[in-house]
Amino acid sequence: GLALLPLAVPPATAPGGCPSACYCVATPELVQCRYERLEEPPKELPVTVHNLSIAGSNLSVLRRAAFAARPLPDLRLLRLRHDNIHTIEDMALQGLPALRTLDLSHNPLLSVAAGAFAGVPLLRTLQLNQALLAAPLEEQLALAVRNLSLRRLELTGNALRALPDTLLPTGLEELDLRNNSLQWLTAAELRILDGSGLRGLRLTLGANPLSCDCALRPFLAWLRAATARVPDARSLRCVGPPPLRGTALLRLRPEGLACTANEGGQLETASYVFFGIVLALIGIVFLMVLYLNRRGIKRWLHNLREACRDQMEGYHYRYEQDADPRSASAISTP
């Protein structure tokens, strides 16, 4: 690799020319651009450049063929950090056939076209640290990376609450999920990590608010069996509940993790929901029985009504007999 030297080569002496908004460090193979008003990638880059860094600019939109004005066949590393990029159009990286590392960290990404990374078939490392905070982009990014053979994906500081399984291409070797909002990994997510295409994946999880309660049991059991796949496993600590705060995960046993009061309430709520569903099913079955036996029920109601009518007529007749004064006088005369 090229060493970063403090001495900058003046643009006039750099072979192939150095952009006026940039400075070339040591050789024109490494170009660093720091210019707040830069709104598009510089067009007068040296054709031999290997590493290009544009930081602190206002690129906003990476348009189609943004780097194709003068193709850079040897560019291997492109850093576009803190450049206020919110949109990446189709074929934005056209003209960079040798690109292997792309850093888009610290940009408020809002839209990524499905063909955003087309034209860079050798891309192996994609860095999106603190770049997914402005909008949920998992579906868009999944389409954009589906044809890439990524080996390393960095997603630190994106407030992720679950494993971004749609962004994990087959063959991925390193996934950096540090400093997110993960409390645990579910059994379903762990099955994805153990899938045939991701069995060699190494996962870093430091600085996540891991909750050491019963929901952590599947992940803890997996972690104890696959410690080699989590390079920072020994540094993982519990954030809660309070009695376990600061405890190393690997010092815990899955069967020793208790459910918190909140989870107990959730389980109770789930029980009530299940009970309500059962009652609803019973009600539906009862209504179906009534519907299927409607003729018999109608006949039974008719017979019941007739029986009630006969009974009432008998009572009415006896009442009339008792109320007739002639009957009363006949009974009283000796």
Tens-digit pLDDT profile for residues 138-158:
999 999 999 999 999 999 999
Average pLDDT in the chain: 85
Query: What would the two tokens of residue 196 be?
Result: 């045939």
Residue 317 predicted with pLDDT over 90: no
Highest mean pLDDT out of 209-223, 246-260, 289-303? 209-223
pTM: 0.73
CATH ID of 1-122, from 3.80.10.10, 3.40.47.10, 3.40.640.10, 3.40.190.10:
3.80.10.10
CA distance 132 to 85: 12
Query: Per residue in 51-89, pLDDT tens?
Result: 999 988 999 999 999 998 888 999 999 999 999 999 999
Range 68-89 burial, b when 16+ CB lie within 10 A, else e: beeebebbbbbbbbbbebbbbb
Q: What is the mean pLDDT of residues 88-105?
A: 96
Nearest to 151 by CA among 134, 129, 132, 174: 174
Kindly indicate the confidence band of residue 11, based on its pLDDT and cuts at 50, 70 and 90.
very low
